[in-house]
Amino acid sequence: RESAYVNIPVIAFCNTDSPLRFIDIAIPCNNKAKHSIGLMWWLLAREVLRLRGTISRTQDWDVMCDLYFFREPDEIEKDEIAQQEKEQKENEAQQQTYQQDWGGEQVQQDWSGGAGGEQTTLAEPG
């Protein structure tokens, strides 16, 4: 309403139940979900850059639309912790596979004997 007093155009993302009283340009979209609003911001930013001539219409825009989605810092931290735990479990499973394949025993050879010194002894790990 205040922008109408000073002649500033108002552009709004509007749903079907949005009032249009002080809105100059209404962009119809779903404004109930955070992902749809993020996608609309991405489309609007891309279109503004195209109208300014910064990027051409034939060139793809390399900015991913998920950069416009708001994510809670706690949610990001939980995802990072879950990813680290997953990687740790995969590494442990891989280590166990290696130990099962090789039996976990180390073979030591005695090279001090002459030409016929092919004695091998098994040593316990550790």
Q: What value does the mean pLDDT take over residues 93-110?
A: 62
Asked if residues 122 and 109 have their Cβ atoms less than 8 Å apart, the reply is: no
Within 13 Å of residue 61, how many CA atoms lie on the same side as its CB? Answer: 18
Long-range interactions of 11-15: CB distance < 8 A, separation 24+: 13/37, 13/40
d(CA 33, CA 41): 13
d(CA 41, CA 125): 60
pTM (two decimals): 0.47
Identify the sign of the CA torsion 55, 57, 63, 69: positive
Q: What is the pLDDT of residues 47-92, one digit of tens each?
A: 888 889 888 888 787 776 666 666 677 777 888 888 888 888 888 7
